[in-house]
């Protein structure tokens, strides 16, 4: 398996140190601005955490840890290193020399496992042996080889031990003897622990329902009822039966950054699961932000124009004042956001005016700080949580509703939020084709309603730009422009063209110019119900 070096450990460490100190460290520092600063004052105690792997180098590329597979690294007392991988455990020694880190060869203890798990372990131990330097930033540990190339990324985030944090896809099934194997491709079994004590799931070709109870890391799953149907092969049916039988053996659980581990009474992993967190398609708006003591520091309408959208390894959004972009690392339940940058040529938030309830500058700071302190996340129903490195909740967010779909009716217009006048509503309908159209509240000749058409884009989360507004020409006549409904039409269309951000909920759509509220719209069906 892993190769054991026969050279003298002292000479090996000395040669490593000479190579790194004389050449590589300078190169890495030059290529990575701020690295030396990030490392200043780092001691062995700063590394004394259980580190969970997020990504690793495979065939020259950094890739996420495979589903249901994990690897850990614990550096303790300045000399001992131990942990485990997909189907093995290890213990060895390490040397910390400033920015450099060397881990001695090890002979892992293996259990029987599938080929993919064993191949992962082989790569892991090879990369462990190649470690020559590290970068420590908040909750993230990055290991590098002798030429400064990134080899592995770990997190020390503590995950709230709540199995309701997500729906879980089953990736691997273990046996009582410690052997483990992946689930059959294409079947996609999953389970979900519901609040209230019910557990439900799919067997790949059937469903099950049961009860569960947890207590300080232990779990008891009982009264499991299931039904098989349309199993494509005998192997699929056998796997489904094995899942049900394994549920009866589960006695403990552990929520890790990489996913959920269900164990039997002997501590053997029997089911390895990964979280299902489908976040990329939605824009998330914070509803409350907490301080270090768990007290709310911002909530409600003062957060209405702040938002974040998480892609694969990128993030963008806006604070109460201005847009931003960032880089993000999401793997399992782990989350870290860095390289945060405000859009160029945007002004900082202003200070609060005397007597003003909302302090834009403080709200922006709370939101940004919570984003940058995030180390993990959880999806509870429709609500998203960002948590810090110790598992404490930093922020709760809700998904933004879609612009496209409803016909929106204006219920408040202008900074003063006045109700539109007249019997004909002002409306806006956004289409997938990038068009927005509607009625302007004006009745033209022959009871014909004046309409408009425009182009729109949403270049970033909560960002909106409406251009090329073209309205019916009834109000273009100089005499008609003095009519009350034509004046209101002009105000409405001008405000549409000024809008640069929005917040959409199921119950309303709000348009803003900067931080100023300029229009509120409600779905047509809600307005009809009110009438």
In a shared domain, residues 95 and 193: no
CA–CA separation, 459 and 316 (whole Å): 10
Which structure tokens are listed for 457?
A: 């884009």
Predicted pLDDT at 272:
92
Alpha-carbon distances of 469 from 7, 252, 270, 438, 453, rounded to whole Å: 76, 61, 61, 11, 6
**What is the rounded distance in angstroms from the CA atom of residue 81 to the CA atom of residue 74?**
5
pLDDT at 18 over 90: no
- Give the end of a domain, one of 105, 122, 155: 155
Phi-psi region of 9 (alpha: psi -120 to 50; beta: other; left: phi over 0): alpha
Do 167 and 151 belong together in one domain? Answer: no
Length of the chain: 531
pLDDT tens, 73-88? Answer: 999 988 999 999 988 9
Does residue 279 lie in a domain region? no
Longest Cα–Cα distance of the chain, Å, equals 98
Tell me whether residue 501 is in a domain.
Answer: yes
pLDDT of residue 214: 95
More confident residue, 278 or 525: 525
User: Which 3 state secondary structure label does DSSP give 236?
Assistant: helix
- Asked which of 18-27, 153-162, 177-186, 435-444 is least confident by mean pLDDT, the reply is 18-27
Residues 342 and 463 in one domain: no
* pLDDT (0 to 100) of residue 374: 94
Q: Let me know if residue 3 belongs to a domain.
A: no
> Is residue 2 situated within a structural domain?
no
| Choice between 357 and 270, residue whose per-residue pLDDT is larger | 270
User: How many structural domains comprise the chain?
Assistant: 4
Domain boundary among 345, 380, 399: 399
Instruction: Confirm whether 1 is domain-assigned.
Output: no
CA–CA separation, 380 and 382 (whole Å): 6
Distance CA 402, CA 395 (A): 22
In a shared domain, residues 18 and 137: yes
- The rounded mean pLDDT for the chain is 86
218 with 147, same domain: the answer is no
257 and 145 assigned to the same domain = no
More confident residue, 9 or 121: 121
CATH code at 72?
A: 2.40.128.270
* pLDDT at position 386: 95
pLDDT tens digits along 161-183: 999 988 999 999 999 988 888 99
pLDDT(151) > 90:
yes
pLDDT(20) > 60? no
The tokens for 345 are 């040529």
451 and 516 fall within a common domain: yes
Domain boundary among 155, 182, 206: 155
* Judgement on whether residues 211 and 303 belong to the same structural domain of the protein: no
* Residue at 262 is within a domain: yes
- Is 478 domain-assigned? yes
Residue 148 has pLDDT above 60, yes or no: yes
Find where tokens 């491709």 sit. Answer: 185
Give yes or no: residues 427 and 349 share one domain. no
Its sign, for the CA torsion 381, 383, 384, 385, is negative
Residue 21 confidence (pLDDT) above 50: no
pLDDT above 70 (res 531) = no
Domain that holds residue 419: 408-530
Q: What is the pLDDT of residues 210-242, one digit of tens each?
A: 999 999 999 999 999 999 998 999 999 999 999
| DSSP designation for 418 | B
């Amino acid at each position: 398996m892993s190769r054991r070096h026969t050279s003298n450990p002292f000479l090996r460490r000395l040669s490593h140190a000479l190579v790194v100190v004389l050449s590589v460290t300078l190169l890495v520092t030059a290529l990575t601005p701020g690295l030396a600063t990030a490392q200043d004052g780092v001691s062995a105690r700063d590394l004394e955490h259980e580190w969970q792997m997020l990504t690793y180098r495979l065939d020259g590329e950094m890739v996420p840890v495979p589903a249901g597979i994990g690897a850990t690294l614990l550096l303790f007392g300045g000399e001992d290193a131990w942990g485990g991988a997909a189907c093995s455990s290890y213990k060895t020694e390490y040397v910390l020399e400033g920015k450099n880190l060397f881990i001695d060869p090890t002979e892992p203890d293996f259990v029987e496992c599938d080929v993919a798990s064993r191949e992962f372990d082989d790569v892991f131990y090879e990369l462990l042996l190649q470690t020559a330097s590290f970068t420590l930033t908040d909750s993230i540990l990055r290991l590098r080889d002798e030429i400064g190339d990134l080899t592995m990324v770990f997190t020390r985030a503590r995950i709230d031990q709540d199995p309701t944090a997500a729906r879980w896809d089953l990736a691997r099934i273990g046996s009582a003897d410690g052997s483990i194997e992946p689930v059959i491709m294409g079947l996609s079994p999953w389970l979900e622990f519901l609040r209230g004590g019910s557990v439900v799931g799919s067997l790949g070709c059937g469903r099950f329902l049961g009860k569960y109870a947890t207590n300080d890391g232990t779990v008891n799953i009982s009264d499991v009822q299931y039904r098989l149907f349309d199993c494509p092969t005998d192997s699929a049916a056998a796997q489904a039966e094995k899942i049900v039988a394994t549920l009866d053996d589960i006695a403990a659980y552990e929520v890790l950054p990489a996913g959920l581990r269900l164990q039997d009474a002997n501590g053997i992993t029997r089911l390895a699961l990964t979280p299902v967190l489908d976040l990329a398609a939605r824009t998330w708006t914070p509803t409350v932000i907490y301080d270090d003591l768990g007290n709310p520091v911002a909530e409600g309408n003062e957060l209405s124009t702040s938002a974040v959208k998480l892609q694969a390894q990128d993030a963008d959004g806006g604070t109460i004042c201005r847009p931003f972009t960032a880089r993000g690392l999401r793997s399992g339940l782990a989350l870290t956001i860095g390289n945060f940058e405000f859009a160029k040529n945007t002004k900082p938030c202003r200070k609060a005016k005397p007597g003003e309830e909302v302090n834009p500058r403080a709200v922006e700071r709370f939101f940004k700080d919570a984003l940058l302190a995030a180390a993990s996340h959880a999806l509870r129903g429709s609500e998203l949580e960002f948590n810090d490195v110790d598992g404490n909740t930093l922020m709760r967010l809700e998904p933004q509703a879609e612009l496209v779909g409803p016909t929106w009716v204006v219920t408040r217009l202008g900074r003063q939020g006045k109700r539109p006048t007249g019997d004909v509503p002002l409306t806006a309908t956004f289409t997938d084709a990038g068009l927005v159209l509607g009625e302007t509240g004006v009745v033209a000749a022959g009871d014909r309603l004046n309409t408009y058409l425009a182009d729109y884009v949403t270049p970033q989360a909560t960002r909106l730009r409406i251009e090329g507004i073209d309205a019916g020409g009834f109000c273009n006549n100089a005499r008609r422009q003095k009519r009350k409904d034509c004046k209101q039409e002009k105000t409405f269309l001008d405000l549409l063209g000024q809008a640069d951000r929005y917040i959409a909920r199921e119950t309303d759509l709000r348009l803003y110019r900067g931080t100023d509220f300029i229009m509120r719209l409600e779905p047509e069906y809600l307005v009809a119900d009110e009438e």
